Amino acid sequence: MAAPPTPDGTSARVHDARAADVGGFTVRRALPRVGLRTVGAWCFADHMGPEVVTETSGLDVGPHPHIGLQTVTWLVEGSIRHTDSLGSDQLIRPGQLNLMTAGHGIVHAEESVRARGTLHGVQLWIAQPEQTRHGPSSFSHLAELPVVDVEHGNATVMIGDYARAESAAAVDTPLMGVDFDLQAGASTHALRSDFEYAVYVVHGRARVDGTVVAEGQLLDLRRHPAELLVETLEPTRLLLLGGLPLGEPLTMWWNFVGRSREEIATAATDWAAYVDSGASASDVVDRFATVTSRIAPIPAPTLV
Ligand code: MN
């Protein structure tokens, strides 16, 4: 349910994330949505869990391709193993960041660790701009990120800079992503006038710029004041995502971010060749190289 209307009607800016299934795991998808495709270059936001995983059940995302985007994986609880076609094999834990750059093409797999526990986190996508989206793929794991003290809590700078702290994560457009872990209370946060923003509440409830935003809701702050007032009504975990408007219309389909249907169709054909080959042949289309995973590759849905 959306927050009740406020006197100036600003509740139109609050959107519930919608349920989706990713590898047998229910996620809440906050981006993209009708009327809000991107926030800066942020083009996708999935909130995973919190959900109990076990030795035999959890997140099981088999090998699948990406083009034209970066994936940002950030955990609140639990751990995920990432493998990709560059040979990366990386366990990620809370407080760490996985940044995978697809460029022209990459294949990866993700699974929750086979032990009982809770998995809770987010996966965000960043659309790559024209200058870099045809380039090479890469993967980086940031074991530590800057954490700054703020009023009533702290903030981890995942992407970009905030409060004179800067993440080492390499992105291609002016962008920021900060995870606030706040106790109840009011705080103010300077915003850039040239950025557009969104707030997503991972846990708890807050009044942000006068509008109540609860767990699983996104507040559209494309229009925003110079200083953001955040009044947390209980202990709250929220993400502030922002960036320069991308200015490039995207064609997004399945795991691909491109600029035309034709381009997406070519990537889908290339991926079908990978799946048909059993993912072991050396003559697979070279942009989708083999990745090691115990899970079968995921075929693309039919492009209509
Ligand atoms: Mn993926």
pLDDT digits (tens, 9 = 90+) for 183-233: 999 999 999 999 999 999 999 999 999 999 999 999 999 999 999 999 999
Structure tokens at 181: 């872990």
**Distance between Cα 168 and ligand 1 center (Å):** 22
164-183 pLDDT, tens digit each: 999 999 999 999 999 999 99
Q: What is the pTM of this model?
A: 0.94
Check: CB of residue 129 under 8 Å from CB of residue 43.
no
Phi-psi region of 164 (alpha: psi -120 to 50; beta: other; left: phi over 0): left
Nearest-5° Cα angle at 183, 181 to 188 = 75
Ligand 1 centroid from CA 192, angstroms:
30
Instruction: Say how many Å lie between the CA of residue 289 and the centre of ligand 1.
Output: 14
Residue 301: is the preceding peptide bond cis (ω within 30°)? no
Which pLDDT value is given to residue 140? Answer: 98
**Which pLDDT tens digit goes with each residue over 4-35?**
444 444 467 999 999 999 988 899 999 999 99
The per-residue pLDDT for 57 is 87
Q: What pLDDT sits at residue 184? A: 97
Distance in Å, CA 250 to ligand 1 centroid: 18
Report the pLDDT averaged over residues 137-155: 97
Q: Which residues contact 259 (CB under 8 A, 6 or more apart)?
A: 130, 248, 249, 250, 251
- Distance (Å, rounded) from C-alpha 223 to C-alpha 198? 10
- In the chain, DSSP finds a helix count (H) and a strand count (E) of 1, 26
The 10s digit of each residue's pLDDT in 98-130 is 999 999 999 999 998 888 999 999 999 999 999
Banded pLDDT at 280 (limits 50, 70, 90): low
Tracing tokens 């100036």 back to the chain, one arrives at 8
Backbone Cα Rg of the chain: 19
The band of 48, judged by pLDDT with boundaries at 50, 70 and 90, is very high
Q: Residue 255, Cβ neighbours under 10 Å: how many?
A: 23
Spatial separation of the C-alpha atoms in residues 68 and 236, rounded to whole Å: 33
Cα gap 98→118, rounded to integer Å: 19
Alpha-carbon span 284 to 208, nearest angstrom: 49
- Picking from 141, 172, 157, the residue whose alpha carbon sits closest to that of residue 240 is 157
Question: Residue 65 C-alpha to ligand 1 middle, in angstroms?
Answer: 7
Calculate the average pLDDT of the chain: 92
Q: Say yes or no to pLDDT of 40 above 60.
A: yes
- Determine the distance separating the centroid of ligand 1 and the alpha carbon of 73, expressed in angstroms: 10
Contact 95, 131 (CB under 8 A): no
Give me ligand 1 centre to Cα 128, in Å. Answer: 15
Residues 290-304: what's their mean pLDDT? 87
CA 217 to ligand 1 center in whole angstroms: 23
Please write the tens of the pLDDT for every residue from 205-217: 999 999 999 999 9
pLDDT at site 9? 45
Pick from 152, 94, 130: which is nearest to 246 by CA?
A: 130
CA of 106 to the centre of ligand 1 (A): 9
- CA–centroid distance, residue 140 to ligand 1 (Å): 15
Cis upstream peptide for 32 (omega within 30°): yes
